[in-house]
Structures are given as structure tokens and as C-alpha cells.
Amino acid sequence: MRPKNSRKSFTLFKKETRSGAIWYVRFWDKTAQRYTVTRSTGVYVEGKRQRRYEAELAARDMLPNITFKTAAPEKSFTRYVSDFWLPDSQYVRECALVKKKPLSTDYVTI
């Protein structure tokens, strides 16, 4: 019997697509303590038993190849606003790339 706080390594769910319902799988990330990676099994939901067993086999085959990314800590809103107009901020760099012209120094805090 599994311990009370443990989770299954993956769960299956059905998703409607244009070509019909397909089984999808969501994998459990132990470090993040949530289901994070979602993939299609490629198995269509058909028949009396809806081909769930085939979808489970496909998910078990995928399990060793799944890698979980660790997310970088997010900035707080106040930190983002205070850094917004700095010369090396993401906004200032993106404006220079997209508009092909850097922002005026009147806007950027030096």
C-alpha cells in the first residue's frame, strides 16, 4: 500500500482534438510537488474500454525519458517595477531589439 502523501508517477486524461479524443498523460514532479509535464500518448479513445490500457503502456514507456525543469525564482512585482527602466532591464533590451533603436537616455535611469 502506498504512503498517504505519495502520488502516482503519472495520471491519464482525455482531451478532445479535431481528429477525436486522445489520451494525454501528466507526470508528477517530486521536487515541485505537482503534476508538471503533459504529453500526448497518441492513443485515441475508442471502443468499449476506450483503449486506456494502451495509453497506460505508452505513458510507462515515456516515463524514463521525462525530465523536469527547475523554475527560476520569480521576481516580486516591486522588484520588477524598480528594475524596469534600468539600462540592462529586459524591457529596455527588447525595445532595442524589436524597434532596432535603443530607448532615449531620458527614459532610462542611469
3-state secondary structure 44-109: ECCCCCCCHHHHHHHHHHHHHHCCCCCCCCCCCHHHHHHHCCCCCCHHHHHHHHHCCCCCCCCCCC
pLDDT of res. 72: 67
Question: For 58-103, what is each residue's pLDDT tens digit?
Answer: 999 999 999 888 766 777 888 878 887 787 888 888 888 888 877 7
pLDDT digits (tens, 9 = 90+) for 52-68: 999 999 999 999 999 88
3-state secondary structure of 4: coil
